[in-house]
Amino acid sequence: MQQIRPYKVLLFLVVVLSLLCIPSAFIPAKGVQWLGVNWRFLPLERVWVAKKQVKKNIDKIVTAVDTSNINEGVKHQGKSSGQTGLPEGGLLASASENPLQLSSSAAAKLGRFFAVLQGAAEGQKISIFHYGDSQIEGDRMTGYIRQRIQQQFGGIGPGLIPAYNVYNTQSFRQKVSPNFKRYTAFWPPKMSSRRYGALLSAATFDVSGASDTPTEAWVEISPSPSAFSRARNYSHVKCYYNSCYKPCAVKVYENDKLIHEDSLMADGGSHALPLSFDHTPNKLRFVFSSTKSPVFTGFSLDGDIGVQVNNVAMRGSSGHDLSSSDAGVFAQMHREANTKLFILQFGGNSVHAFRDSSSVRNYIGALKNRIHYIQKLVPDAAIIFIGPSDMSRLQDGVFETYPLLPYTVDRLQKMCAENGVAFWNLYAAMGGRNSMPAWVAQGLAGKDYVHFSPRGASIASQYFFEAFGAAYTEWEAKKGGDE
């Protein structure tokens, strides 16, 4: 066999590399469209000098907050009324490096919420709803925020939970019978009636056999030992439902012992079946029996007083689905929950798809319409919008911030200011452009360069709570000066 001389191999490689340099020299960095495909080549300057990964220093950001005592707090010093959910007290932040951005109208609305929040610590009961994409899935961020708010202002329990939960969550445990089926407003399958309620998800059970023979289905709920301390306890449980048109019997078991037997209201309206306890029930099983399933829109797990903080994770959603529930059922469930604050956290699912500034403005215009929808249906509630985190794409071998992410954050802030919505800049709190790789390197975010790890979520949530607390402290000081 004839051997190839080394100089011929070298010559071949030089020729091939030289040919590859031709498109690198003449084709723009953004590529060219040909045959319906965008053809990109490594820019000529990158052939000789490799792009370097930005290594941002976030040590000060990580060490500036303490999340270690999340389950502890200054115990309530007042006389106990016997009510479950009394606050523990403590000091709120007086300032924040990344404060809530407030226009005059947003400040006024948030001030009215703070007045109600102050009342919650004194015996009232209100709700906060945290709607967001997969960044809050499994109670990530919400669980930490809930613990801090309930420690300060009262409240226990994870709040409203889905009738059929499919996400791994730290805050409660749930099992359902195999014949239950889940529907959501933001992902197929969907219900034609759109009667999802405030959680934008619902469940029904399949009825089998003869039409006059009732079918049984069950939902089992228990506290989670991995939950934050406040969420591990609750004394009130409600089952929310609507569209019950046939008799539906319900039996409730605690640790396999029958404790309640009842029938659901069969008038088709929206109702709740309430139960009260003098302890946290270890395991509750709701057994339903009917020839036609009602629509179950959730269960609430809370206490007598304080703040119920509800997590509504909408995987894959950009916030457009906030108006996808029947308006009457949505509004009624929020009235029942006494909702006084919405925390909205969206944008992450759209940033990667933005191609130019107009696509950003179109998205934010659609999001503004959803905010108006909420303001119309729940007019006395304030809104805080948490902007998207830093997110990275792999570009020329390194991870860097999506090009239109900073512009998106800026436009979101302006839209919020114009519509009476408070804005919190999560992107800035993380360290801004190209901070995500540093969060990943320290185990604070996943290898997808999008989602926080549990520790990273705690740090981000603590920064949000400090901004929230600083706004409350400032309102309280101004209120005192006005009196």
Polymer length of the chain:
483
Domain count, the chain: 3
Q: What is the pTM of this model?
A: 0.89
Question: In this structure, are 428 and 452 located in the same domain?
Answer: yes
Residue 39 in this model has a pLDDT that exceeds 80: no
pLDDT given for residue 320 in this prediction: 93
332 and 468 assigned to the same domain: yes
412 and 286 belong to one structural domain: no
Of 281, 302, 323, which one is at a domain's C-terminal end?
302
Which pLDDT score, from 0 to 100, does residue 76 have? 38
Q: Looking at the structure, tell me whether residues 326 and 466 fall in a common domain.
A: yes
CA 280 to chain centre: 26
Q: Is residue 399 part of a domain?
A: yes
Q: Which of 251, 273, 302 is the last residue of a domain?
A: 302
The pLDDT, as a whole number, for residue 5 is 76
With bands split at pLDDT 50, 70 and 90, how would you rate the model's confidence at 233?
very high
Is the predicted pLDDT of residue 43 greater than 70, yes or no? no
User: What span, in angstroms and rounded, lies between the C-alpha atoms of 456 and 464?
Assistant: 13
Residue 159 has pLDDT above 50, yes or no: yes
In a domain, 258, yes or no: yes
- For residue 37, the enclosing domain spans 6-48
Preceding omega of 406 cis (within 30 degrees of 0):
no
The predicted structure's pLDDT at residue 55: 80
Q: How far apart are CA 161 and CA 114, in angstroms?
A: 25
Tell me whether residue 101 is in a domain. Answer: yes
The verdict on 238 and 368 lying in the same domain is no
CATH of the domain at 136: 3.40.50.1110
> At residue 35, does pLDDT exceed 80?
no
Q: What is the pLDDT of residue 397?
A: 83
The sign of the dihedral angle between the CA atoms of 43, 45, 46, 51 is negative
The answer to whether residues 59 and 39 belong to one domain is no
Per-residue confidence (pLDDT) for residue 80, from 0 to 100: 37
107 and 253 both lie in a single domain: no
In the predicted structure, residue 460 carries a pLDDT above the cut 60: yes
Helix, strand, coil fractions of the chain, as percent rounded to 5: 35, 25, 45
CATH number at residue 271: 2.60.120
Compute CA distances 238 → 179, 252, 273, 324, 437, whole Å: 22, 12, 5, 24, 43
Please report whether residue 1 resides in a domain: no
Same domain, 323 and 375: yes
pLDDT band at 68 (very low <50, low <70, confident <90, very high): confident
Are 358 and 473 part of one and the same domain? yes
Mean pLDDT over all residues of the chain?
A: 90
Whole-Å CA distances, 83 to 90, 127, 138, 201: 19, 17, 29, 31
Task: For residue 48, name the pLDDT band (cuts at 50, 70, 90).
Answer: low
Give residue-wise pLDDT tens across range 235-288.
Answer: 999 999 999 999 999 999 999 999 999 999 999 999 999 999 989 999 999 999
**How many Å separate Cα 124 from the centre of its chain?**
25
Say whether pLDDT at 73 is over 70.
Answer: no
- Give how far Cα 391 sits from Cα of 74, 83, 184, 452, Å: 37, 44, 26, 10
Burial (CB < 10 A; 0-12, 13-18, 19+), residue 224, is middle
445 in any annotated domain = yes
Instruction: Based on the fold, state whether residues 146 and 256 are members of the same structural domain.
Output: no
Final residue of a domain: which of 250, 276, 302? Answer: 302
Same domain, 240 and 190: yes
| 247 within domain boundaries | yes
Question: For 135-150, how does the pLDDT look when each residue is reduced to its tens digit (9 = 90+)?
Answer: 999 999 999 999 999 9
Q: What's the pLDDT at 355?
A: 93
pLDDT tens digit sequence for 348-358: 999 999 999 99
**Do 239 and 191 reside in the same domain of the chain?**
yes
DSSP code per residue over 170-207? SSEEEEE-TTEEEEESSSSS--TT---TTTTEEEEE--
